[in-house]
Amino acid sequence: MALLRQKRFHPARVLALSFLVAIVSGSIVLLLPVCTVSGKISFIDALFTATSAVCVTGLIVVDTATYFTRLGQAVILILIQLGGLGIMTFSTFILLAAGRRISIQDRILVQESFMPSAPRDFRAVIRNIFLMTAIIELAGTALLFLRFYPRFGPLEALFISLFHAIAAFCNAGFSTFSDNLQGFTGDILINLTIIFLIILGGLGFLVIQECFYFLKIFRKKRFHFSLHSKIVLSVTVGLIISAFLLLLFLEWTHGFNQLDWKEKILASLFQAVTPRTAGFNTVDLRQLQLASIFLLIGLMFVGASPGSTGGGIKTATLGVIGAFIRSKLMARERVNLFYRTLPEECLMRSFTLFFLALAWIALASFLLFLAQPGAMMREVFFEVFSAFGTVGLSLGLTPELTPWGKLIIIFTMYFGRIGPLTMLAIFSRTRPVGQFEYVEEAVMIG
């Protein structure tokens, strides 16, 4: 915490450093012989696994189910929880629990992760984040335990249920099953539980809190959603419904042709939700046709919502860009959404984020083509989009990655979790060089 007391405090740098420290620490712990069945793991594989866990991705170069011991899996689970909520949020919660005073720097760091503006009651916000997380994850654990208990026994079922509940809520695609969740394609309880955990984790804590208020769980009075929540909820629902219908149409007689009609519906719904940064799968994605793969790539690029446990450019960014395009088509000077006018700064941040994300994906894909000369184009693009969106889905390329390929994906997962705007802020000037303007001149476009 000493870094937070320095004069030249920079929230973006501290956030990025906190994730980096967690990744390195996790890598060192995973190198311990007690964490692996064979008693050994290469440093690059330990680093890849720790990065994937802290960045809540789920891409794996070794089988989590068979390569790691229960202790190793527990370490991965802790890294997922730390990465999902944020290291600085945990640090702040510990200070609150110890009765320590929370500094302005601590407040800024947590606000950067979860809130668009400064909260009135900071302590209440932190408590609510941990309370909501505990309630949701324990509820998910209990539901999954009902299904796993008859098959695995009490202790084993409890660990498996807790592991998948935390991984799903934190939008990390890690599983204690070698085939992920493909063995439960037609299980309604497991599918719906994981789906709801993924959606809740991807909404963001501010939106979840407003949903609780709306349902009159925390207080009984009329409540109006903020513009942020309206955008997030509308885009989220729109993406899930449209992706579900498209997958159902595209794969009914193709990738899902071996399933009965109930399983086809469940598989379509699950695969419509999971690319939004979760990474679980109940079917073999390599059996899907190219149109469906393209759809999944688009969903992975959008990702979750601001202030959530997921990555991607975020649903709010897509909503703002969509509103901007609509305003131009309707010849409006200002960009309006839900009877509110969006500020120019919001538009600039959205487009900057969009193009920085595309630029990084293009660079990472180019480098991965060089590192993996025998890989198919769709495998490379799918892998990079999955890493950037901190999703965890793969078409089978991850275990075949060369050391250089692993490093490229490691950096992409880190970049995707930290966020392009945060990375830009790290290397940007803290003070403007000078305040002056040049003469305007038009340029031909199109």
More confident residue, 420 or 366: 366
Asked if residue 2 has pLDDT above 50, the reply is no
More confident residue, 86 or 51: 51
Across the range 396-424, mean pLDDT stands at 92
Average pLDDT, the chain: 87
pLDDT of residue 127: 79
Asked if residue 3 has pLDDT above 50, the reply is no
Asked if residue 272 has pLDDT above 50, the reply is yes
For 202-234, the pLDDT digits (tens) are: 998 888 888 887 776 555 666 778 898 999 999
Asked if residue 103 has pLDDT above 60, the reply is no
Q: 72: Cβ–Cβ under 8 A, 6 or more apart, which residues?
A: 30, 34, 35, 36
pLDDT of residue 5: 45
30 within 8 A of 40, measured Cβ to Cβ: no
Asked if residue 435 has pLDDT above 70, the reply is no
Cα torsion angle, 18, 281, 269, 353, sign: positive
For 357-405, the pLDDT digits (tens) are: 999 999 999 999 999 999 999 999 999 999 999 999 999 999 999 999 9
Question: Which of 45-54, 92-101, 208-217, 275-284 has the least mean pLDDT?
Answer: 92-101
Asked if residue 267 has pLDDT above 80, the reply is yes
Beta bridge partners of 341: 336
Alpha helices in 284-343 (DSSP H): 290-302, 315-329
Percent of the chain with pLDDT over 70: 85
Asked if residue 99 has pLDDT above 90, the reply is no
Q: What is the C-alpha to C-alpha distance for residues 254 and 232, in angstroms, rounded to an integer?
A: 32
Q: What is the C-alpha to C-alpha distance for residues 22 and 276, in angstroms, rounded to an integer?
A: 24
Asked if residue 161 has pLDDT above 60, the reply is yes
Per-residue pLDDT band for 422 (boundaries 50, 70, 90) equals: confident
pLDDT of residue 91: 52
For 289-326, the pLDDT digits (tens) are: 999 999 999 999 999 888 787 889 999 999 999 999 99
Q: What is the C-alpha to C-alpha distance for residues 114 and 309, in angstroms, rounded to an integer?
A: 9
**Half-sphere exposure of 175 toward its Cβ, with a 13 Å CA cutoff?**
17
pLDDT of residue 239: 97
pLDDT of residue 125: 72
Q: 22: Cβ–Cβ under 8 A, 6 or more apart, which residues?
A: 50, 54, 79, 82, 83, 87
